[in-house]
């Protein structure tokens, strides 16, 4: 049968049941019949439109320019401006296939999906009607209101509103200058929560002024990203971080870019200008994205080398709480509270001259150009001087309780992190 510019309707008297695999042809400009390999095939041309109902009864609507309908297989090959609409999902592609018996569609080349504010593109896609799930392959890009996801494969489940992305995964928030890389991730849409499961890396580019760009790099074994009321990145297990001259390692790191806070716990250590800081927990405060203060709670300790030629000599400061204040990246003041103790080595014209140990309820130290300008001990003050002859070659015997000097720290090579010896 051949005709020009006519409309074909195949009307079904009653709605299809959940087991009905019927495909209802709603329109086409031309219809041609033929037999291919013993199977009846109908070719539809121009304004092709058909519909099939899912197992739960909702309609799936398909449009294209040309279609080949294989009657025995209940399959339709689709060509030209292919569009599939189901509920709030719209999928388009230059070509594809629709399988009526199993109710799923395969889309090929330049696949484009729109669902609410989310837009996805890929080289190939699969949409399973009854299961309400979709798979996408090859150069997948998914854009929503706050970020862009790149991956080679993305699997989306509508029931749980969960997306799984694998292979060359990265999530970019251009407005905030952050990019998260990983081998794979799971995104929970309703919770706006992303779980980066393997080899995550967070990179944030911060411009403190027109001439300075500070780059924060964080790696860990796992990373969680929250994008609800306030953005939050949680790095878990074997965490390494660098930011300008500041570097850190810990078991858990919480990064709050909107609040200019970094919280480290589980044996945290940070390094800044040759100083090592440790404690039960550490909070780093940024102001205009520049280092403003470091607050250490529980077993707080600040260490720095006293003499590069005498490798066992460290100036030491400890207490239950320690706060460091910075300006333009330089340390300005240190405030140590509760069981505050300081130990520092003395020199006379660069010649070693023993050490001084003092303690009190509180110790204040002020710095100028990175050097100690003034020290003040308040409450229950005790002091002790040990001459050089008593401490020479016995420096380790006088270290404060909790002393631990880490021989390596994270260093950045490009945008990769490694731990290197630095003493």
* Range from 3-7, 137-141, 317-321, 415-419 carrying the lowest mean pLDDT: 3-7
Q: With bands split at pLDDT 50, 70 and 90, how would you rate the model's confidence at 218?
A: very high
pLDDT reported for residue 213: 58
How many other CB atoms are found less than 10 A from the CB of residue 146?
Answer: 14
SS (H, E, C) the chain: CCCCCCCCCCCCCCCCCCCCCCCEEEECCEEEEEEECCEEEEEEEEEEEEEEECCCCCEEEEEEEEEEEECCCCEEEEEEEEEEEECCEEEEEEEEEEECCCCEEEEEEEEEEEECCEEEEEEEEEEECCCCEEEEEEEEEEECCCCEEEEEEEEEECCCCEEEEEEEEEEEECCCCEEEEEEEEEEECCCCEEEEEECCEEEEEEEEECCEEEEEEEECCEEEEEECCCEEEEEEEEEEEEECCEEEEEEEEEEECCCCEEEEECCCEEEECCEEEECCEEEEEEECCEEEEEEEEEEEEEEEECCCCCCCCEEEEEEEEEEEEEECCEEEEEEEEEEEEEEEEEEECCEEEEEEEEEEEEEEEEEECCEEEEEEEECCCEEEEECHHHHCCCHHHHCCCCCCCCCEEEEEECCEEEEEECC
pLDDT tens digit sequence for 235-269: 999 999 998 888 999 999 999 988 889 999 999 99
What's the pLDDT at 257?
A: 85
pLDDT confidence of 207, banded at 50, 70, 90? low
Residue 2 has pLDDT above 80, yes or no: no
Determine what percent of the chain is predicted with pLDDT higher than 70.
93
- 422 pLDDT band, cuts 50/70/90, is low
- Residue 191: per-residue pLDDT: 87
Locate the domains of the chain by residue range: 1-110, 268-412
pLDDT at 107 over 70: yes
What is the average pLDDT across 31-49?
A: 90
| pLDDT tens sequence across 337-376 | 999 999 999 999 889 999 999 999 999 999 887 677 888 9
Determine the average pLDDT of the residues in 137-159: 93
Is 60 exceeded by the pLDDT of residue 18? no
Q: What are phi and psi of 310, to 5 degrees?
A: -110, 95
Q: What is the pLDDT of residue 10?
A: 34
Per the model's pLDDT, the better-predicted residue between 34 and 398 turns out to be: 398
Residue 14 has what pLDDT? 35
Is the pLDDT at 299 greater than 70? The verdict is yes
Split at pLDDT 50, 70, 90, the class of 13 is very low
pLDDT recorded at residue 340? 95
Q: Which CATH architecture has domain 268-412?
A: Sandwich (2.60)
Q: What is the CATH number of domain 1-110?
A: 2.60.450.10
Distance CA 342, CA 137 (A): 60
Q: Do domains 1-110 and 268-412 have the same CATH topology?
A: yes
Q: What is the mean pLDDT of residues 63-82?
A: 96
Say yes or no to pLDDT of 271 above 70. yes
Q: Considering the chain, what is the average pLDDT of its residues?
A: 88
Per-residue pLDDT reduced to its tens digit, 151-201: 999 999 988 889 999 999 999 988 888 999 999 999 998 888 999 998 999
What average pLDDT score do residues 280-289 get?
A: 90
| pLDDT at 385 exceeding the cut of 80 | yes
pLDDT band at 6 (very low <50, low <70, confident <90, very high): very low
């Amino acid at each position: 049968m051949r005709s020009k510019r006519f409309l074909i309707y195949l009307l079904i008297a009653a709605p299809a049941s959940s087991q009905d695999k019927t495909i209802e042809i709603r329109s086409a400009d031309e219809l041609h019949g033929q037999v291919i390999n013993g199977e009846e095939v109908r070719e539809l041309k121009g304004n092709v439109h058909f519909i099939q109902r899912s197992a739960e009864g909702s309609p799936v609507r398909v449009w294209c320019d040309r279609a080949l309908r294989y009657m025995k297989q209940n399959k339709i090959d689709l060509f030209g401006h292919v569009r599939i609409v189901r509920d709030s999902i719209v999928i388009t592609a230059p070509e594809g296939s629709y399988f009526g018996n199993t109710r799923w569609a395969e889309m090929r080349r330049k696949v484009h999906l729109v669902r609410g504010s989310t837009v996805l593109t890929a080289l190939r896609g699969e949409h399973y009607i009854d299961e309400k799930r979709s798979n996408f392959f090859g150069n997948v890009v998914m854009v929503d209101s706050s970020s862009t996801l790149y991956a080679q494969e993305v699997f989306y489940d509508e029931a749980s509103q969960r997306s799984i992305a694998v292979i060359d995964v990265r999530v970019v928030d251009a407005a905030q200058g952050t990019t998260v890389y990983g081998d794979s991730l799971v995104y929970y849409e309703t919770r706006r929560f992303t779980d980066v499961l393997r080899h995550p890396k967070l990179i944030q580019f911060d411009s403190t002024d027109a001439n300075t760009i500070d780059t924060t790099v964080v790696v860990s074994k796992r990373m969680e990203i929250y994008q609800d009321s306030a953005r939050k990145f949680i790095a878990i297990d074997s965490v390494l971080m660098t930011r300008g001259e500041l570097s850190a390692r810990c078991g858990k790191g919480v990064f709050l870019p909107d609040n200019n806070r970094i919280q480290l716990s589980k044996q945290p250590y940070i390094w800044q200008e040759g100083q090592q800081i440790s404690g039960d927990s550490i909070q780093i405060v940024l102001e205009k994205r520049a280092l403003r203060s470091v607050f250490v709670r529980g077993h707080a300790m600040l260490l720095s080398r006293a003499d590069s030629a005498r490798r066992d000599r460290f100036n030491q400061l400890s207490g239950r709480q320690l706060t460091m204040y910075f300006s333009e990246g330089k340390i300005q003041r240190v405030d140590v509270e509760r069981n505050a103790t300081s130990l520092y080595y003395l020199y006379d014209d660069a010649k070693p001259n023993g050490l001084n140990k003092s303690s009190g309820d509180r110790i204040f130290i002020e710095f100028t150009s990175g050097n100690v300008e003034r020290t003040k001990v308040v409450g229950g003050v005790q002091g002790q001087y040990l001459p050089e002859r008593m401490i020479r070659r016995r420096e380790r015997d006088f270290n404060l309780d909790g002393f631990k000097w880490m021989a390596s720290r994270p260093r950045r090579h490009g945008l990769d992190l490694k731990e290197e010896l630095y003493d």
